[in-house]
A and B are shown apart, each in its own frame.
Chain A
Amino acid sequence: MIEATKSENGSQLLLRTLKKQGVEMIFGYPGGAVLPLYDALYDGGIPHILARHEQGALHAAEGYAKVTGKPGVVIVTSGPGATNAITGIADAMSDSLPLVVFTGQVATPGIGKDAFQEADVMGLTMPITKNNYQVRDSKDLPRMINEAFQIATTGRKGPVVIDLPKDISLVKISEKYQETVDLPSYQPTVEPNTLQIQKMMTALAAAKKPVILAGAGVIHGEASTELLVFAEKYNVPIVNTLLGLGTISSVHELFLGMGGMHGSYTANMALTECDLLLNIGSRFDDRLASAPKDFAPNATIVHIDIDPAEIGKVIETAIPIVADAKAALKKALNTPITPPDTQEWRQQNKARKAQYPFSYDRENTDEIKPQKVIEIIGKLTNGEAIIVTDVGQHQMWTAQFYPFRYAHQLVTSGGLGTMGYGIPAGIGAKLGAPEKEVVVIVGDGGFQMTNQELAILNEYGVDLKIIILNNQSLGMVRQWQEKFHNERRSESVFRTQPDFVKMAEAYQIKGSRLANPATLEQELTTIFAEKGPALIEVLVSTTEHVLPMIAPGSPNDQMIGVVNR
């Protein structure tokens, strides 16, 4: 127990606890219920990034968390501040990103009585948080904050909300308080069961066609080095999920590409034909395994996951291993076996990779192909930039054509598929990794959902290159309507668009519009060579589809639009 200083109020105690936690920056937006908190912030200590909408603050915190692996910290006000934050909290829950979100709340006597700007934040955020707290006594604050950080950043990471009534943040702390975390009911399993690892290694030794499916768990567990050592030692090819991209360099010969709906033909065929599937940190999402009954039909399934509830949720698992990816791989590397002979299997995959690469109509010079834009960006950034996307066609083209090299490199909304994620997440990513080049790739639809955050770029000196792949439509919606709804393009084509270049100018950012396929590469090279934030609108084909694709509900080997080179 710690003696109160008597002079400190709840807000000051909160900030002091955040400093102790090593919080580098706070993303947020003030309002009535958090006035005391912002008053305490006024005295400095932790830099604050003022978003222009609470959703922006949340996505920025997610971008920061994604590239740094550290928790993103957010403050929003009660009622509408909190409800605006909901999308970002749900997004972080889907993609297991560590966030600690403080929502202001009306003063304790008003709670539950429909006070001004009151919303039931506990009820609203319960299903979309790893845990949530409402502070009912200011002396609980330090313990709750420390618990929130521990919960958010350990086990399967995720968002934690702390709902803070205004009176609690104002009252002077007079009682002794507890700082230490006391969570007997929360003890995530990190170390794998030795017997299960032995079973896995025995299965691997006997396998002829093994495949590793590496998901975001490898990134969250900082296990990409161990993954590479393991894969190279035992000659096992790797398929990535969308959020697993970067766990292995895309130019590595064991890399088969992304699996799933818009994944590579090679990856999907490998998932179908393998006799042993080592899933490390992927949750068999429906974009990866849209037909669970037909998924990897010949394979013994091994599933390594830090969240026991994920094992067996979608796909029946022969060898379940509850563990952190890094701990599991380390133990596996210490369990020697004779490496399986995968020569033939690797040759087969290599041949397929050469024969069925991601492709598009490269001969067409009448219009700019969006895939071409991604390829140029890949070249200009040497595959080393942090890439942030929004959601839709451009996201899938980025996943297909950008040459990812390292973990934490791709910042994208995978699980929730949140349009509007790109711009603010890009800002958070750059603030989290200022030494890196950060490129944001968005569509014209998603861009218009959170473009107000452009205001932040100059204010905080955020050097982002933002590419709008403008196809004048909600491309993925349009693609599905064209493929599955008799080309009835219901509300998916924009009849009017703002002048994006003028918008850039309004925010005092360099703006350019590129429309000429012949000069595209030269123009992009010039823009990328300049320092400072830039908004680049590229007018791309308005009819292009993301291919190949697995129709929803179909097994992974039934891809449409596969082009044989």
Chain B
Amino acid sequence: MKRIITACVNNYSGVLNRVTGVLNRRQFNIESISVGPTEATSISRITIVLNVASLFEAEQVTKQLNKQIDVIKVSDITDEPHVERELALIKLNTPAATRAELLSVMEPFRANIIDVGAKTVVVQVTGTSEKIDAFVDVVRAYGIKQMARTGVTGFLRSSK
């Protein structure tokens, strides 16, 4: 069961270590983790995607993380209305003849070409992890030379 957990933490060195340390010790598998600044300079947001066996386990994770002194707030946002985005950069084998076709494949995913080489292009795609997975499946036939994914980041939607 995939869960998206966000943690606001004090922007001190070592806090990320503490967070991953807790997850590792309790034998939770991190699918992705992303960290970055927030609107407050002293606070960072960590977004963790985890595979857990049950909701009970997810609750344990949030409690264990909340226990860390430098962790301000932990939320399991999976079942709440939320926005989530991931970014992927994919370097594809694309001889000149195939490029027009690639553009038409990219279009419905709203992906962009951000670098062009003699034999390859680099495509950028953003969206939910599922969308990126789907895109990767579609372009795999071209031959993926390199790929980098950021992992998910996100938070709760604005209240209506």
Do A and B make up one complex?
Answer: yes
Does A308 count as interface, using CB distance less than 8 angstroms?
yes
Among the listed B14, B66, B73, which residue makes an inter-chain contact with A126, where contact means beta carbons less than 8 Å apart? B14
Chain A CB within 10 Å, residue with most, of B63, B69, B73: B69
Q: Which of B17-25, B100-108, B126-134 contacts its partner?
A: B17-25
**Cα distance A61–B14 in the bound complex, in angstroms:** 27
CA distance A123 to B60 in the complex (A): 23
**For residues 64 through 83 of chain B, which have their beta carbon under 8 Å from a beta carbon of chain A?**
64, 66-73
| A127 is an interface residue with CB less than 8 A from chain B | yes
B6-23 CB mask vs A (1 if < 8 Å, else 0) is 000010001001100100
Question: Is B64 touching A309 in the complex (CB atoms < 8 A)?
Answer: yes
Measured CB to CB, the closest approach of chain B to A401, in angstroms, equals 37
Question: Across the interface, which residues of B come within 8 angstroms of A127, CB to CB?
Answer: 21, 25
Return the contact of B69 from the options A130, A309, A312 (Cβ within 8 A): A130
A307: CB under 8 A from chain B?
yes
A185 touches B10 (CB 8 A): yes
> Which of under 10, 10 to 19, 20 to 34, or 35 or more describes the interface residues of A?
10 to 19
Interchain CA distance A122-B16 in the complex, whole Å: 13
Output the nearest chain B residue to A160 by Cβ-Cβ distance: B69
Give 1 or 0 for each of A384-414: 1 = CB within 8 Å of chain B CB: 0000000000000000000000000000000
Query: Which residues from B are CB-within-8-Å of A312?
Result: 56, 59-60
Residue A22 is within 8 A (CB to CB) of chain B in the complex? no
User: Given the complex, which residues of A lie within 8 Å of B71, measured CB to CB?
Assistant: 185
Question: Are A185 and B21 in touch, CB under 8 angstroms?
Answer: no
Smallest CB separation, B104 vs chain A (Å): 50
A185 to B18, CA, bound (A): 15
CB distance from B16 to the nearest CB of A (A): 11
Complex Cα distance, B15 from A134, in Å, reads 12
CA separation between A122 and B15, bound complex, in Å? 11
Assess the B72–A308 pair: CB atoms within 8 A: no
Task: Tell me if A183 is interfacial: C-beta within 8 Å of chain B.
Answer: yes
Contacts of A307 in B (CB 8 A): 67
User: B23-37: contact bitstring with A at CB < 8 Å (1 yes, 0 no)?
Assistant: 001000000000000
- Chain B residue nearest in CB terms to A127: B21
Mark each residue of chain B from 106 to 117: 1 if its CB lies under 8 Å from any CB of chain A, else 0: 000000000000
Complex Cα–Cα for A183 and B68 (A): 12
Q: Which of B21, B59, B69 interacts with A186 by CB under 8 Å?
A: B69
Residues of B within 8 A of A (CB): 10, 14, 17-18, 21, 25, 56, 59-60, 63-64, 66-73
Extra pairs beyond A123-B17, A130-B69, A131-B68 (9, CB < 8 Å)? A126-B17, A127-B21, A151-B69, A307-B67, A308-B67, A309-B64, A309-B66, A312-B59, A313-B60
Q: What are the 8 closest A-B residue pairs judged by CB atoms, nearest first?
A: A309-B63, A185-B72, A131-B69, A309-B67, A186-B69, A309-B64, A308-B63, A127-B21
